[in-house]
Amino acid sequence: MHRTFIGITIALALVGCALNPGASDLVNDGRNTDNVLTYGMGYAQNRYSPLAQINKTNVKRLVPVWSLSMENDFGEQAQPMIQDGVMYVSDAKWTVAIDAVTGKRLWRTAVEFDPGTPRIVCCGVSNKGVALYHGKVIRTTIDAHVIALDQKNGQLLWKQKVADWTQGYSLTLAPLIANGVVVTGCSGAEFGARCFLDGWDPDTGAHLWRRYTVPGPGEKGHETWNPSESYLHGGASTWITGSYDPELDLMYWGTGNAAPYNPENRKGDNLYAASIIAVRPKTGEIVWHYQAVPNDIYDWDTVWEIILADIMVEGKVRKVAMQMNRNGFLYVLDRATGELLSAKAFTQVNWATHIDMKTGRPVESEVSKRLRAGERIQLYPSIRGGKNWMHAAFNPHTGLLYAATNEGYSNYKLIPVEPFKPGFRYQAVEATYSPVTPATVGGYIQAIDPMTAKPKWRTPLMGELPGSAVLVTGGGLLFTGKHSGEVIALDADSGEQLWQFRTTGGVNAQPVTWTRNGRQYVTILSGIGGTASQRRGMPDVPLGGAVWTFALTE
């Protein structure tokens, strides 16, 4: 008996060695520039790479070295992952493994989903990327499942149902693997979902825990929903991958808007909607929370990337979590405690006058009071947000955030709430957007000081809204993409555009940079989608997805 037990232990240990990446590979992601193993290029989601082979002086020699069609017209938003010369890419239809240097496809596995699923998706039939762990490619699906494929051949290893898509639930986010647990979220706050985080065993798919972001009866925070049953469709979706601090063993997840947008039937603060929550990956326990917008009425998702860094605050190095929120404020929190350190507006804001630093609550303006009284208002920022999901980057050496932000406003009015119907929109607002013409500043790419929220520089984006996440490199470059199809490189010190390349479709994705055999590459997906697919402003940008990889000419 004893002997058998030892035998099994040794066998498991051997299997553990063979299965990559492991937990320490993820913690150390970024040290080996050959690999990109985490969402955001590091658990801290800085989207910073020290690579400097491609730099300001030679970026003009950057050319595509290969492209691969994704055979998908729904749009491409994913961040590629790379391990040992193999790139793993996802969209709503496919999971694909590619030889990272040659661009040859190694395998592809279709995602099976009901063709009716897109009707319960608010913002594009999409997927933001895979996670790699223990020889598996783990991803979410539009019909609210999480699946694991064999990293070698794409064969399905396990599949778990997260929720019933017909009730308005979908998943588009890349899973987070933290402390050996696969953590996934939920989309559907526009369809009256009650969202959550789930923890899964990466090896078996066994469900370990669920933490509702809208507490039920008896749970802490439930008292912030009034009447009590409003929690059942309370929203607070978790559709962007959280960040993770392995030393504190805390994940940082943002939660989405409260549902429906019209708050008439959900009095109270509505925890944990529009909040940042610090969660233990092993248990799902909420260690602290910070609610950015109590009783949200504006779709003020607080889900955007939460960037972790150690920065000087009033002369002391603080472990912080930073977020450029949809609501127009840049939040800096102590990530150990949740203490609010700064919350300055980074764009024009008229729904709140400021954030009260004592209470941490926004002070609603006259405009918000008029909205709550039933008037139509002109809202800054627009309900697309001062920034949308397009992830910002942080360079620890400059101490600056680099982000693509939105300009413009919404005309906005609350309308009566219709009874909840499963699988139908549950919002109860009227919203229009300021027009975007070729002469309109649709947004800015800017370098921002976290504590003041002031731009060091900003470069206007003419005639379109920002499309893509930002990557900052040790070569002094920012990479991002445009809905009109260009991948661009800017001087990180001035914002001057140094290089561009027109890809086959619109670019609304996430650039990464990596090395193989000593050569630096930049990869980004092209393929207009997401909410951009609903925009009528760019009829000449074709649909159709492709992966693009660039390098300096030899």
Partner 1 sequence: MVANGVLITGISGAEFGIRGFLDGLDPETGKQLWRLYTIPAPGEKGSETWPAGDAYLRGGGSTWITGSYDPELDLVYWGVGNAGPWAPAGRPGDNLYTASVLAIKPKTGEIVWHRQLVPNEMFDLDATWEWILADIDVKGVKRKVTMHLSRGGFLYVIDRTNGELLAAEPFEKINWATHVDMKTGRPVESEISKKVRAGEQIELWPSQWGAKNWAHAAFNPETGLLYANTMHNSRYAQFEPVEYKVGQRYVGLKNLPAPRQPGLPIAHVDAIEPLTGKHKWRVPIMDIPHYSAVLATAGGLLFTGKETGEFIALDMDSGKTLWQFQTSSGINAQPITFTHKGRQYVAIQSGIGGVNVARMGEQLKNVPRGGSVWVFALMDQ
Q: Active-site residue 299, yes or no?
A: yes
What is the DSSP-derived secondary structure letter of residue 388? -
Tokens representing 449 are 């000081």
| 85 counts as binding partner 1 under rule CB under 8 A | no
| 131 counts as binding partner 1 under rule CB under 8 A | no
Is the separation of the CB atoms in 511 and 41 below 8 Å? no
User: How many Å apart are CA 341 and CA 451, to the nearest integer?
Assistant: 8
> Least CB distance from residue 292 to partner 1, whole Å?
41
Stretch of 254-262, 354-362, 486-494, 545-553 contacting partner 1, by CB under 8 A: 545-553
Is the separation of the CB atoms in 255 and 272 below 8 Å? yes
**What contacts 535, CB < 8 A, 6 or more positions away?**
483
| 69 counts as binding partner 1 under rule CB under 8 A | yes
| 287 counts as binding partner 1 under rule CB under 8 A | no
| 58 counts as binding partner 1 under rule CB under 8 A | no
User: How many Å apart are CA 108 and CA 69, to the nearest integer?
Assistant: 12
Subset of residues 480 to 539 that bind partner 1, contact rule: CB under 8 A: 504
| 425 counts as binding partner 1 under rule CB under 8 A | no
| For partner 1, the closer CB: 60 or 267 | 60
| 401 counts as binding partner 1 under rule CB under 8 A | no
Among 64, 85, 205, 460, binds partner 1 (CB under 8 A): 64
Catalytic residue among 29, 299, 334, 449: 299
**What is the Rg, in whole angstroms, of the alpha carbon atoms belonging to the chain?**
22
Stretch of 62-70, 84-92, 387-395, 471-479 contacting partner 1, by CB under 8 A: 62-70
> Least CB distance from residue 376 to partner 1, whole Å?
44
- Edge to edge, what strands does the sheet with 316-324 contain? 307-313, 316-324, 329-334, 340-345
Query: What stretches of 19-141 adopt beta strand conformation (E)?
Result: 48-49, 62-69, 81-83, 86-90, 94-99, 105-110, 131-133, 136-140
| 155 counts as binding partner 1 under rule CB under 8 A | no
Q: What are phi and psi of 523, to 5 degrees?
A: -125, 140
User: How many Å apart are CA 190 and CA 209, to the nearest integer?
Assistant: 25
Stretch of 145-153, 442-450, 473-481, 541-549 contacting partner 1, by CB under 8 A: 541-549
Stretch of 5-13, 69-77, 340-348, 449-457 contacting partner 1, by CB under 8 A: 69-77
CA terminus-to-terminus distance, the chain: 62
> Least CB distance from residue 521 to partner 1, whole Å?
13
Stretch of 26-34, 36-44, 102-110, 229-237 contacting partner 1, by CB under 8 A: 102-110
Among 9, 71, 84, 366, binds partner 1 (CB under 8 A): 71
| For partner 1, the closer CB: 256 or 485 | 485
| 267 counts as binding partner 1 under rule CB under 8 A | no
User: How many Å apart are CA 535 and CA 522, to the nearest integer?
Assistant: 28
The site that binds partner 1 (CB under 8 A) totals a number of residues, namely 24
> Least CB distance from residue 65 to partner 1, whole Å?
7
Is the separation of the CB atoms in 327 and 298 below 8 Å? yes
Query: Which of 387-406 are b and which e, b meaning 16 or more Cβ less than 10 Å from the residue's Cβ?
Result: bbbbbbbbbeebebbbbbbb
Is the separation of the CB atoms in 409 and 379 below 8 Å? yes
Among 349, 453, 545, 550, binds partner 1 (CB under 8 A): 545
Please name the helix (run of DSSP H) or strand (run of DSSP E) that holds residue 17, with its range, or none.
helix 2-18
| 369 counts as binding partner 1 under rule CB under 8 A | no
Binding track over 304-323 against partner 1, x by CB under 8 A: --------------------
Catalytic residues: 299
Contact positions vs partner 1 (CB under 8 A): 60-61, 63-71, 102-108, 504, 544-547, 553
